[in-house]
Amino acid sequence: MKKIFAALILILSFACAYGQDYAEITMSRTDTRTRGIIEVPEASISHELLVVSFPSSGLYSLYIEDGMGNIVYTSTLPADGMEYDYDLSGIGEGFFTLTLEGPSGEYKGEFSVN
């Protein structure tokens, strides 16, 4: 019983410490010209660390815009199904838009950094 209680406390403390800063970013395709199954990138942010994965193929441009529409971060994403991390500690706090643009179209998602 003590082991179960200790494990539960450990899980709850982890969730409280890290759960508040973790968020999934819902990505959606901005142009819907094609039919069929559309693969969508997966993205999340935790402690100013953006994690992006896309099972498509090709090289994608990654842009992050602030709430005023200014590009505050740019990089590339080699879409190959692997997860790639991007350090966003220099963009500050606020509301942002993540854009991925490449061979299969453009995808956008919104997130905030506190």
Q: How far apart are CA 16 and CA 93, in angstroms?
A: 21
What single-letter DSSP state applies at residue 113?
Answer: E
Q: Look-up: residue for tokens 């410490």?
A: 17
Q: How far is CA 15 from the centre of its chain?
A: 19
* Token duo for residue 32: 């819907």
Q: What is the pLDDT along the chain (114 residues), one digit of tens a residue?
A: 555 544 434 444 444 444 457 899 999 998 766 566 678 999 999 988 999 999 888 999 999 999 999 999 999 999 898 999 999 999 999 999 999 999 988 999 999 988
